[in-house]
Structure 1
Amino acid sequence: MSKSFTISTTTSTTTSNPKTTTAITTTTTTTTGTATTTTTTTTTTTSTTTTTTATTTTILLLLLLLLLLLLLLLLLLLLLLLLLLLLLLLLLLLLLLLLLLLLLLLLLLLLLLLRLLLPLLLLLLLLLLLLLLLLLLLLLLLLLLLLILLLLLLLLLLLLLLLLLLLLLLLLLLLLLLLLLLLILLLKLLLQLLLLLLLLLLLLLLLLLLLLLLLLLLLLLLLLLLLLLLLLQLLLLLLLLLLLLLLLLLLLLLLLLLLLLLLLLLLLLLLLLLLLLLLLLLLLLLLLLLLLQLLLLIILLLLLRL
């Protein structure tokens, strides 16, 4: 007979940094007689949250810098437009001056035709006017050159704006890709958390069932106690009712006695009143008799005198 035995070895996890990978390896060997089997399982998990957060922050900083550059370019464009408007106004003023000079030349020519007495002065005036015209023409040429340069600068700024917009679009696409990666990682983490939550919920449900059973037992005990208390209360109420009935009977008897006494007192009072009335009548009669006697005496005295 061959004996069977098992030998199991487990290795703990090793972690160096949050950016590196973590590994869990479990090896079990079982030997039965002469046959030997070996199974090895290895699970690895990688964490890339710190790298993704660092890249997102750098991309956000680049976006802010590009936005600042765009604002500066827009301000430069506004300044160039203002300069163009000023140059246009200057050109209009120069054109007006040229028109005035031409009118003056025409007037001078007319004066020359009309008056031939002042040829030298007129010639000098003509020379001055010609010089002024030349200067105005030079100014016009310079202004045209400035306008051309400003237009070229505007074209360059527009090209720079287009390039910046393209860069912004590329950065936005990169951000979207990073967000998608973050969402995928978050979904994996959420699935693991959901599994843990389900296990915790099952344990909580078991605990709740035990608590419910205990509560039911306590409720039954409380109900029995309440029934006993109710019975005692009913007995007490019956005793109270009996006592109240006895008290009521006693009160009724007392009331009857009081009524009888009151009646007797009333009768006595009536008798006393009658006696008083009789006495009064007697007194009145006596008074009347006395008065009659007095009258008779007075009459007798009067008769005697007569």
Structure 2
Amino acid sequence: MRIAIDAMGGEKSPGVVLQGTQVLKHEVELILVGVEAVIKKTAEDLNISLDGLEIRHASQVIEMDDPPSAAAKKKADSSIRVGLQLLKDGAAQAFVSAGSTGAIMATAKLVLGTIPGVKRPAIAQLIPTLIAPSVLLDVGATVDCRPKYLYQFGLMGNIYAKHFLNIEQPRIGLLNIGSEESKGNQLVKKTYRLFANSPLKFAGNVEANDVFRGDIDVVVCDGFIGNVFLKLSEGLLAMIRHNVFNGSNGTFMGKISQIITKRVLTKFNESFDPDRYGGAPLLGINGSCVVCHGNSSARAIENGIRTAMHLAKNEIIETIRSELG
């Protein structure tokens, strides 16, 4: 198996990307796609071995503030486009990038296209719950949706949960402002009826405050709502972490309380650490693509590569193609 990795994508590239490959380069063939001179210079500066890593030169980089669609077309030799072309040509079985989400999606649609029958792609993010990880989609690929799009997100999320989380019959929930069928805007109400009349195990509407309970295996929403939900959750966790580790009234009991709380939060962090889940697959695209957070750490990159390996090994994209195409 060969995995192509965008070495230039993300706020800390190529350093964290190189660090994130060091363990897995002994398990799978990895292709670093990017400006060769920059990759080699960074490896030298950080004392990182490039042994076991293939470098595929790409002379251009799509920056985070580049217009996605225009960059996808104009920067034909970008690390994102070259990496996706390797996937299309069969020279790689999956592609991983921490670059601009919009640019990854636009370039993937241009190079690979969508799976026949799929209206819009969706990013499927694993999120921690009190019971086991759940799938939240979409978290940013398609912000303006129709009922049919959301229903297809549910179908793809159902397949992903079956094959990635090994859940025999995933429970599908529609993210809404209330649990009652009558709640929500017209988009959600029409989508509800599609799910209710489908063969999926539809559990109805789910409110945002209930998502982390773990009663729902696949949570469906449009990319705008999903992205806001995800970033709000990350920000809330960061605030809690900051207050616990920095807040103390200076008294003896205050310090004791802080020590105890820190121990509890450390366990909490292990479960809710986003780096643990790495990247998220871009479902609906005609190839195994994994999108990592722009601020990914080396651990997140490593786990993003693991996600890509799992996608390719279990032929999840092929299953979506056969069931939805």
Between Structure 1 and Structure 2, whose CA radius of gyration is higher? 1
Q: Which has the higher helix share?
A: 1
Do Structure 1 and Structure 2 share a fold, with TM-score over 0.5? no
Higher relative contact order (CA 8 A, sep 6+): 2
Relative to the length of structure 2, the TM-score reads 0.19
